[in-house]
Structure 1
Amino acid sequence: MEKQRFKAYVIEEKDGSFIGEIKTKQLEELPEGDLLIKVYYSSLNYKDALSASGNKGVTKNYPHTPGIDAVGKVVQSNNADFSPDDEVIVTSYDLGMNTDGGFGQYIRVPASWAVRLPKNMSMKEAMIYGTAGLTAGMSVYRLTELVKPDDGKIVVSGATGGVGSMSVAMLSKLGYTVAAITGKTTEHEYLRKLGATEIIDRNEIGQAEKKPITKAQFAGAIDTVGGAILENIIKSTAPMGVVTACGNVGSPKIELTVFPFILRGVTLIGIDSQNYPMHYRNKVWGLLADSWKPGHLAEIATEITLEQLPEKIDLMLQGQVRGRVVVKMSE
């Protein structure tokens, strides 16, 4: 048996404030589950930053260890489908929300949450992707079912974020012409390196537009922010175009008529990576390991240690994190 004690980044509520600290825990403190997994890498997501700041819509009870992503090796298994030393990915479901997550060196989870690490994918690459990459992959998968590269330009909102960066890189790899929406003028070179051929200022498309439908500009879109930007993207999507929606940091509300859907046949597809069916997860992870893997995947990520988490969490809450943040958990 591996060591009984391990390090974890634990959030505690003290006098109305939420404080994060690296603590030593025991395996017995982990929840029940089929698989005990030694975590080699995790990653930082916006939902982790919310959990770390005491957002009760994400995490109800504290003390708590965030981390909605984890990759590592099975140490103990009570399920016939997995054996010790199997390399597995665990993302979403309840991991890091109300179940202690990947910011601990060990996790214990149901076997139904685990995906085998695909061939041709390292553990670090799995966490460069993480939930953000999986969400981007799901969005690209659904969009490419109905829109082909020759159909026209695809626009990606929130393009410097994790999901946005991955989406730009994947779409470019697949031969699509990509326009990236951002409000960060310093990141234009980064987005062009990922494959964007056009940069759209967020202010140009983020203002409320009274017209129920506007000039067709995009064959499709991957929206990560919601609100007015999603409204305007839908209004300016070409006939038979497809828009996927996976975020609401701008707003969870949209004000629309039915005209884009009836007059242009626009399709709006919601992406829920948290509870996405397992057969789709396996399909998308396989594509991410193979033909969809960007050549510059490593450039999308920054690697940090557990000790550096607090600073990165603060930056993420301020909207100052570019791409992906990978957390190295074990040697």
Structure 2
Amino acid sequence: MFNAIVIDKTGDEQSVSLTQVDESRLPEGNVTIDVAWSTLNYKDGLAITGSSPVVRKFPMVPGIDLAGTVRSSDHPEWKSGDKVVLNGWGVGEVHWGGLAQVARLNGDWLVPLPEAFSARQAMAIGTAGYTAALCVDALVQAGVTPGHGEILVTGATGGVGSVAVALLKRAGYAVAGSTGKASESDYLKQLGADSVIDRAELSEPGRALGKERWAGAIDSVGSHTLANVCAQIRYGGAVAACGLAQGADFKATVMPFILRGVRLHGVDSVMAPRPLRLAAWARLARDLDPALIEVIAHEIGLAEAIAAAADLLAGKVRGRVVVDVNR
């Protein structure tokens, strides 16, 4: 038996509870993992609260991230005792996830835990931080260099934004953080932000073209915010878009793209191929100061994850939530 958060549904009614599960109920997979740490991401919040139809198969153990130790493996790459990390691949949506003490998964979905990090630190980074690294890599590949000017990070106090600010600063960029929480300016500057702007500057419908302001941007907000960000990017700049905290709509015009050569790069963390994942984790291992991980993260036990999911969606959570699945 092991402890897990389990989401179930009867008719239109969803239930969620912390319960004991028999290991015979574990789903198919060729690697069994003793989970040490998990985390809460925005998608986990949606799944646990039922705010959006994220879960497509019931019963479901949520948790799109986990870090732990291989107990047994029929996969050629992994053996008992290996330290591994899992991000995405539909885990926590269609396949049982990481908010449990044991997981059984497809070994193709795993990457090695970087030597630079403990399992706890890897989950303090989680999909949010791994996505931030994918976004930074996208801007670098688009040719946006520190010499081109300031990079804007929207939703800067969230999980993606917090890590993005830290990574960009370490890579030599000047960074502006957008947030609706004026009280968090010191937090963002501690991570590396050179300036902080009010998200209200970006969150309402704006002009098709604004003043050229940013060399590039990382956006986890979507909707009017993303449209305004694109309208303010300098000639030849790029935007890495990875989220929809404000909404999935994108009420923009083609003007920034055809008059300023702005590039909009979509970043997907769920099904990203292995080479991109390994490159992102390599950037994190190289450029993310371990001391900042502790600034970004706070820890809860598995029993607290259900309440924390609601707080996450309500915007009450700063940075990253690390879940100790064994308490």
| CA shift for structure 1 position 262 | 1.5
Alignment-derived partner of residue 228 in structure 1? 224
Tell me the distance in 1 between the aligned counterparts of 2:20 and 2:75.
Answer: 28
Corresponding residue to 1:57 among 53, 60, 69: 53
Residue 102 of structure 1 deviates from its aligned partner by 0.6
Question: 1:146-295 to 2 correspondence within 5 Å?
Answer: 146-209=143-206, 211-293=207-289, 295=291
Aligned length: 326
Aligned-partner SS, 2:287: coil
SS at match of 1:168: helix
Match of 2:19 in 1: 23
* Counterpart secondary structure, 1:290: helix
| TM-superposed deviation, 1:12 | 2.8
Counterpart in the other structure of 1:8: 4
Cα deviation 1:5-49 (Å, max 9, x = unaligned): 111011233674433221111111011101000100000011111
Give the distance between the partners of 1:118 and 1:153, measured in 2 at CA.
30
Q: What is the aligned partner in structure 2 of residue 101 from structure 1?
A: 97
For 1:160, give the aligned amino acid.
T
Structure 1 residue 56 displacement after superposition: 5.8
Please name the residue that 2:312 is paired with.
Answer: 316
- State the match for 2:137 in structure 1: 141
Deviation at 1:55, TM superposition (A): 4.8
Structure 2 Cα separation of the partners of residues 14 and 315 of structure 1: 25
How many Å apart are 1:317 and its aligned residue? 1.7
What is the CA deviation profile of residues 96-149 of structure 1, one whole-angstrom value per residue up to 9, with x for unaligned ones?
112111111011111110001111111111101110011000000111221111
Of all paired residues, the percent bearing the same amino acid is 40
Conserved 8 A contact 1:169-1:294 = no
Which position in structure 1 is the counterpart of 2:113? 117
Q: Which runs of 5+ in 2 are unaligned?
A: none
Letter of the 2:78 counterpart: F
State the superposition RMSD in angstroms: 1.4
8 Å CA contact 1:287–1:293 kept in 2: the answer is no
Secondary structure of 2:196's aligned partner: strand
- Give the letter for the 2:150 counterpart: K
CA contact (8 A) 2:49 2:310 kept: no
For residues 277 and 310 of structure 1, the distance between their equivalents in structure 2, rounded to whole angstroms, comes to 31
What is the alpha-carbon distance in structure 1 between the residues aligned to residue 102 and residue 322 of structure 2? Answer: 16
- Whole-angstrom distance in 2 between the partners of 1:21 and 1:255: 39
Does the 8 Å CA contact 2:150/2:173 hold for their aligned counterparts? yes
Matching residue's letter, 2:180: G
Distance 2:49 2:147 in 1: 44
Unpaired stretches in structure 1, ≥5 consecutive residues:
none
SS in 2 for 1:166: helix
Q: Verify the 8 A CA contact 2:301 2:326 in the aligned structure 1.
A: no
Q: Which amino acid aligns with 2:170?
A: K
For 2:308, give the aligned amino acid.
Answer: K
Report the residue type matching 1:11 in the other structure. I
How far the C-alpha of 1:257 sits from its partner, in A, is: 2.1
Contact 2:213 2:234 (C-alpha < 8 Å) held by counterparts? yes
Task: Return the alpha-carbon distance in structure 2 between the equivalents of residues 206 and 90 of structure 1.
Answer: 33
Q: Deviations over 1:57-90 (max 9, x none)?
A: 3102332210000000011101111100100001
Q: TM-score, normalised by structure 2?
A: 0.96
CA distance in 1, matches of 2:286, 2:170: 12
Cα offset for 1:330?
A: 3.4
Please say if residues 18 and 52 of structure 1, whose CA atoms lie closer than 8 Å, have aligned partners that are also in contact.
Answer: no
Aligned to 2:28: 32
